[in-house]
Amino acid sequence: MASHLAVLGFHLKEAWRGWPGMALYLGYTLIVYVVLFSLWGSLEAPPWVLGYLWAAEALYMGVPRFWGQLHQEAQRGELGLRLALPYPFVFLRFQRYLATALLQIPLVAAVGGAVIGALGLSASLSLWSLPALALGLILNFLLELTFALLTFRSTSPMALGVLLEMLRLLGGAVVLPLEFWPEGGALLLQPLAATFYLPARVAAGGEPVWLLVSLCWILVFLGLLARLFPRALAALSERGEV
């Protein structure tokens, strides 16, 4: 346990060096809040909707994307051996991801909290908020890793990475309204929405069944990764980057 905490502390120090990027997240998120609050205010949405948007957007903007970094490591010949050992690779990557998220999420959420307070709104929490946050972080991490491994099969990996990121944003915009109309089968898609705009249930509350379906989506991503790891390693070997 002590060694894992030491590694996490190291990654926290490393992530802190990226404070200019965090400042950019803060500014971007503040602009997004102003636009979203104006839009939903004009539609006379209930206060919890604004709280939802605050939590969802703050958490989404507060987590890192690392597929580009993986490609830089591949070009330096540092990635092949790590991909050959998938379990340590995933564990260490998640530690780095979590360290960066632990720094960024509070900073970005602070901006949302200030806006919420200035507008006299509130973001409600429920018993399931913390589990929803934890599962949302895991889902987002697995999505990032899936994107990264998919791009290794492309002759233009960086271009494909940008395309996937655009699709990610579009997908988030499409599934976002499902949180407001949870009737029927839309409930099953809400955990998938968490991979685009991290767990909206942090603000809007939640139900235990959402956590169960989130676990199912996590298993789906783990199954995809089990197939993608050997293919990504083969692609690196073909390009001589192992």
The two tokens of residue 170 are: 């579009």
d(CA 169, CA 197): 9
Query: How much is the pLDDT for 38?
Result: 65
**Per the confidence metrics, is the pTM higher than 0.75?**
no
Number of domains in the chain: 1
**Count of beta carbons in the 10 Å neighbourhood of residue 18:** 15
For 87-137, how does the pLDDT look when each residue is reduced to its tens digit (9 = 90+)? 777 887 888 778 777 776 676 566 666 666 666 655 555 666 677 777 777
**Which residue positions in the chain have pLDDT lower than 70?**
1-68, 71-82, 84, 104-105, 107-129, 153-158, 160-162, 164-207, 209-210, 236, 239-242
User: Which contacts qualify for 13-17: CB closer than 8 Å, 24 or more apart?
Assistant: 14/96, 14/99, 15/64, 15/96, 15/99, 15/100, 15/103, 15/104, 16/103
Domain that holds residue 20: 2-238
- 204 HSE (CA, 13 A, CB side): 24
pLDDT of residue 204: 44
pLDDT the model gives residue 8: 60
Q: How far apart are CA 18 and CA 30, in angstroms?
A: 19
pLDDT of residue 196: 47
| Chain centroid to CA 228 | 19
